[in-house]
Structure 1
Amino acid sequence: MNTLKTKFNHYGLVVFLGVLIASCGSKKDVVYFQDAADYETIVSDNTHTNTFKVDDVIGINVSTLDPLASTPFNLFSGTQEGGFGRPQQLDYIVDKNGEIDFPVVGNIKIVGLTPEETKDLLKQELQPYLKDPIINIRLRNFTVTVLGQVNRPGTYQVNGEQITVLEAIGLANDLNIKGKRDNVLVIRDFNGTKVYTRIDLTKKSALNSPVYYLTQNDVVYIEPNQSAVTQSTLDNRAGLTVSIASLIITTAVIILTRN
């Protein structure tokens, strides 16, 4: 009887150690930029400026020293509700041809242009009508989506003109412990064509990745690491495991009782 109890104790210890080892992670699984040395200066030549895409929503405001002169070159919806207040300025949508329908000037193709390039183009188009126009352009639908093993998945509005993949992950309150940091997937749309690129955030080379700077409507997906996959498998088999364990315990009790 003592020999049988000892065997059961040893078996339980082996199972416990196996589960413990399987659930443990290492430092290399969770630390960002592991190959960056202390006080190391990293100069990145990775520059990026967003360009306009089909279906982008863009706010464009044209102003001059003479407000009446620039009024025809801005879109307005009319007066506010009730007929009071200033008229509401409307936004432009880049159509399937990559163009916007600009007042007076007509269709202007801006797909693939940066905001600065678009400003220069509009100034050229407005030169016959306005003297030294001031043009402000803002992308209204600059959003990024962060999914997977993060603490707060969702779609986030970007207030500025630029955001990095790290900043996007920061908006989602960082990866959780089960997120795979060395194989982050960025899904990017180029006017209907999806491009899938992976980035390793455990290496400093991530700073030079073509997807380190995100563009509008990018999707960042964090895959589950092996720990999460193992846990999912264990959860799926939990019912079966409980049944088998119950059967083993019952059998063991019967054997021990008889001996």
Structure 2
Amino acid sequence: MANLFIMRLLINATVASVLLLTSCVHTREAVYFNGVQNAEFIGSTENLEPVIQANDLLSITVSSLNPDASQLFNVSNVSATQMSTISGTMVQASGYLIDQDGFIQFPFLGNIKAAGYTKKELQNRIISELVKQKLLLEPIVNIRYLNYKVSVLGEVARPSVLTIPNEKITLLEALGLAGDLTIYAKRDNVLLIREENGKKQLMRLDLTSDEIFTSPVYYLRPNDIIYVEPNKSKVASTSRLNQWLPLVFSALSFGIIAVDRLAR
């Protein structure tokens, strides 16, 4: 009976040691927007419309008073790609792929420069060309992104690439879709990587401050990457765990062997 008590004591001590080594996160480090009271923020929506870039995949549909004539401009482009949706399912999307020079090949109009324009600007340009060349009367052009995606990596529950169907998403929404930050996430130094015109921009964001609501990067753009670093508690606990676990289990094994021999 005494031997069984000693064995249980050793097991409980081991479990307690592991829990102690892995539970060192301060409460304040796990809280968003520390000290924020009732307030009203006016977020920046300037330049929210993203600029089309090379390798973007666009859906372009044309309609007019003459449906038969319009149909000639809606022949699907052969460019296609597989994408992962928010739910994680894979879908096949086809549309107009912007080439490395920034052009698309549009029916009857030939090469059209797309990179560097917003969707609205490209839409107006196509309408202008259709009217100018007398191809359609009062055409309506609708353009949508087919690869509007953002990536969330690091200390989140489900690191993933998210395809955004409504073409508008905030930083907080993206983190929510990735399952939120883990308890070990470094909330005051989240990294956002954005590429525009071939240049990568790196921006640090503090989710413990209310300044995030007025940040120019509160609304994400296509191909943004969010990286959440592990905090010091995660690094320290992992390091301590790697150092102490072999010793703890060795001691436990030795104790069990000792108890077994004493029982004989």
> Is the Cα contact below 8 Å between 1:50 and 1:161 reproduced in 2?
no
Distance 1:57 1:140 in 2: 5
Deviation at 1:244, TM superposition (A): 8.7
Shift of 1:239: 4.9
Structure-1 residue corresponding to 2:110:
106
Larger RCO (CA within 8 A; separation ≥ 6): 2
Aligned residue runs from structure 1 range 82-93, under 5 A: 90-93=94-97
SS at match of 1:73: coil
Q: How does 1:33-112 map to 2 (within 5 A)?
A: 33-37=33-37, 39-47=38-46, 48-76=48-76, 90-112=94-116
Say how many residue pairs are matched. Answer: 224
Change (3 A) 1:107 1:28: same
Distance in structure 1 (CA, Å) of the matches to 2:174 and 2:241? 30
Q: Which runs of 5 or more residues in structure 1 are unaligned?
A: 1-15, 79-88, 254-259
Given that 1:148 and 1:222 are in contact with CA atoms closer than 8 Å, whether structure 2 keeps it comes out as yes
What SS class does the counterpart of residue 152 from structure 1 fall into? coil
CA-to-aligned-CA distance 1:106-127 (integer Å, 9 cap, x gap) = 2211212221222112111111
Q: How big is each residue's C-alpha offset from its partner over 1:120-179, in whole Å with a ceiling of 9 and x where there is no partner?
A: 121111112222111111100111111111111111111111111111001011111111
In structure 2, relative to structure 1, the CA distance for the partners of 1:64 and 1:27 (3 Å cut) is same
TM-score (norm 1): 0.76
Unaligned runs of 5+ in 2: 1-15, 79-92, 259-264
Identical pairs, percent: 40
The equivalent of 1:28 in structure 2 is 28
CA contact (8 A) 2:25 2:183 kept: no
1:1-259 equivalences in 2 (<5 Å)? 23-37=23-37, 39-47=38-46, 48-76=48-76, 90-128=94-132, 129=134, 130-239=136-245, 241-242=247-248
Q: Secondary structure at the match of 2:39?
A: coil
Report the alpha carbon displacement of residue 45 of structure 1 after superposing the two structures with TM: 2.8
Q: Distance in 1 between matches of 2:137 and 2:102?
A: 27
Please, what TM-score do these two structures have when normalized by structure 2? 0.75
- Aligned-partner residue type, residue 201 of structure 2: V
Q: Secondary structure at the match of 1:138?
A: strand
1:193 and 1:124 mapped to 2: Cα distance?
31
For 1:151, what is the secondary structure of its paired residue?
Answer: coil
The SS at the match of 2:72 is helix
Q: 1:150 to 1:77 in 2, by over 3 A?
A: closer
8 Å CA contact retained: 2:21, 2:237: no
- Shift of residue 187 of structure 1? 1.5
Deviates more, 1:164-173 or 1:211-220: 211-220
Aligned AA (2:115): V
CA distance in 2, matches of 1:61, 1:216: 21
Pair 197,168 (structure 1): closer, same or farther in 2 beyond 3 Å: same
User: How far apart are 1:77 and its partner, in Å?
Assistant: 6.8
Q: How many Å apart are 1:21 and its aligned residue?
A: 9.8
- The offset of 1:236, in angstroms, is 2.3
- Could you tell me how far apart the structure 1 residues matched to 2:77 and 2:194 are? 33
Residue type at the aligned position of 1:124: S
RMSD: 2.9
Kindly indicate whether the alpha-carbon contact (under 8 Å) linking 1:49 and 1:162 is maintained by their aligned counterparts in 2: no
Deviation at 1:192, TM superposition (A): 3.7
Alignment partners' CA distance in 1, 2:192 and 2:71: 41
Counterpart for residue 12 of structure 1: none
Contact 2:152 2:160 in 1 (8 A): yes
SS at 1:194's partner residue?
Answer: strand
